Structure 1
């Protein structure tokens, strides 16, 4: 946003009156005409796409390019400066979720850009045969699809959705023999990406339902007493939770009475049937051992149950995956989920110190 370009007409007239009244050779007038648009933004000679209307820059670099220490080369208008400076290395590893902010200064004006640098990538986003959907694993580029027993798999024509602008082979609409795994290839901006597709006869096993993961499934958490930060950088990616983002907040030991945590409800409510799911799991990281509580409710905050699991003193400051059992006699649909990482108000009976706490990878686990 070009901040001072939006000064109201009243203010401009007021300032103009002041400067007119002053001696002509004293002081400088406000410069509201300086250019604060970035002219070019390059990473390894790859030109970024600059959108001056919404203040964004996107740079697509070849697959395999390291993003942890990228030093962009920035071209600016005359007399302008930028922070961070051109040639100054920045960590763009997570910029697809949290862009790096650049600010251009010139005269009395400044302009802010949010910059994303990411590798070129083409993906298959949907793979269907008949009314069956494939299970896509983007981590290892594999797709598994379950078809009814007795299906002739030697001549099937999948319906595929994939990155716009990519060229896929075999071509959509082709009839393919899926007796053994089939490799699909995406060509996109000079790069090639492959998926292995496997057809399995039988019914698809019910998988855990991922409710929140901090990266691409990030419903808004309503804060309970505290403000929830999400996505928030994962402070420990070397353990069992190596994903880049999570949910987090700071809890004050002095004002620890009652609920402190986050809620998924209202526009972010869930719809989980206890007849199909009998457990929840969630990753927790904190500095104090003790009970973690999940409260489940039906819509309208009715039919409440309180589920607890112990965060062990053996691995303080590390991610621990905790499992919470839904009561066997519960039949009411679960619409609201409240997560409380520490369920000992005012440090009783477990001593508590003010610190930042984290949770991630909230899942509903299907019945066996």
Structure 2
């Protein structure tokens, strides 16, 4: 019996022991819960010098890191600790831009959580510039400005065609009570060299350096190439266009066109790719006829050639012809208009906008002698071909009237306005109703600056025109003005003054000697195959010249 009880007791002990061991092994085999958590988050390159470690505060799935005010938040390096087995995107240790709240996605197997991390700048304890606007002293156009708080540098970026004289338009300082002074003693800074802004707060001073970053733009006048010279200043005017019967000229980047009534009626064409060759002539195809003058003015737009006759009496038929290129031998008569009364003279100067007759406009100025007219006759082709012109009066702001040889040209980037000028007004900007919005006054740009053109090259905006003062002893010339500064062309023109105009006039070339007998001139702008601008200046009786410009 005793043995039996002993065996029963030993058996019970073995069962209990086996049960305990089994339970213990089962506990060891249970997997840990899968978690996708950020357990620690820090920024390791905070502060102005980028050498401070700042721990973030984690609240649920939001993390806030408050760094010193001078910290550059655009490239902060993180140090992130995760729950076991988890990974995070973006990865720990990679620079991130915390200008705005960033999402960090933590993944562990099939578990994923998204944390929103916000970095805030602490309130400054010394004087700081939190924002600044620096503008051109010429046009008040704002320059691109960036503040490097760590190095206390204000970087100001503008191009070499813009003024180095700038103005602090506005400035924001912290903490409240901070004051500032500049190295110039005023809010006007000469950015041709570094300037400084000194802040004072609670007896301490902080100095910011203002540094200009001037980018290349436009063309270099020293890199000017003469392509073709047929001007009287060089004694090279061809005899076939040497008298007062040659009044219209145009240019398309390769060809120079001159209308001539000297020894017959012709349109001569010089080819810049063969500058020593005699000019070819445009084929009239038996179509061109009639008028007081059979050929008078010429315009070239996108490869199409437009030529007008001139009429100056009631009943005369004003005509405009169109060629599709220099080899077209069948020109189209796209406009015929019978002059209804006396004192109307059309055809001395025409302007083409768009692609008539498919669309666009034809402008013909009413010659202002002897009738003192100041008006355009305008044919609008946008609704189809039209025979009835709108008579558009032009009332200058500075000049007496538009005068002879009134022309308009388009303005790049501004479909609502046109350049306009004539013999008795300055270069002006008008809308398509003929309302003059701004007119440049003398002495910035003198009157009798004909056929003004605005064109772009290498980030620069330029205005070119041909001057013919007729009776004055300074002859004829063409010049180029830098009008890059300004939110619009009007802003740029308004920025011209007696102080700035000499700096803005980047090129001038004389076309003639001192004495002229006839007023009139044209200007043309085209581009080479590799995009370099080419400018032509033409003056009545004094021929033409073409230059190419590059940076």
Q: Which protein has greater RCO, CA pairs closer than 8 Å, 6+ apart?
A: 1
TM-score if structure 2 supplies the norm length? 0.21
TM-score (norm 1): 0.28
Higher Rg of the two aligned structures:
2
